[in-house]
Amino acid sequence: MRILGIDPGYGITGFGLIEADRGICRLLRCGAITTPPNTDFSWRLGEIYNNMTELMLLAKPDAVAIEELFFGNNVTTGIKVAQARGVILLAVQQANVPVFEYKPMQVKQSVVGYGNASKHQVMDMTKRILHLSAVPKPDDAADAVAIALCHARSSTSLLALAGK
């Protein structure tokens, strides 16, 4: 199964494509869709959408795992991230690929085994699980890879299989 993990953002959207087969995961590709600051926001959304559409064609994922929004103190930023997330979901829906959403705590629990793990712990375990020589860069890409790993582990769990 090819899983595309997405860490949504409007400045940087991280992505990580893994292949999961019988509990073994392999990183195929990761990176980021970036838009320059101080440019028209609607243009930035268009760039995210266009790049995401192209990524869906190139990656050919069987599933997309995306992080749910976490609203911290800055509601304005959260709203802009939500808009970026919307164009990402549109591109995925138009590619007819199923979407699975995970809370940050679920990703941490799945990858590290502890829902309150630090960002460093998640990155380190991602590197170990995939047998990488270094943590994927930028950080947004590493987060996206962790989200893909979360889905790989969740979708192959005995509880997930029991529902089928």
In the residue annotation, 140 being an active-site residue is answered as yes
Catalytic site residue from 54, 124, 140, 143: 140
In the residue annotation, 101 being an active-site residue is answered as no
In the residue annotation, 143 being an active-site residue is answered as no
Q: What is the pTM of this model?
A: 0.91
Q: What is the pLDDT of residues 73-117, one digit of tens each?
A: 667 778 899 999 999 999 999 999 999 999 999 999 999 999 999
Angle between helices 119-129 and 104-112 (to 10 degrees): 50
> What CATH number does the domain located at 2-162 have?
3.30.420.10
Give, in order, the Cα–Cα distances in Å from 10 to each of 7, 46, 71, 162, 164: 10, 10, 15, 37, 36
Q: What is the pLDDT of residues 25-39, one digit of tens each?
A: 999 999 999 999 999
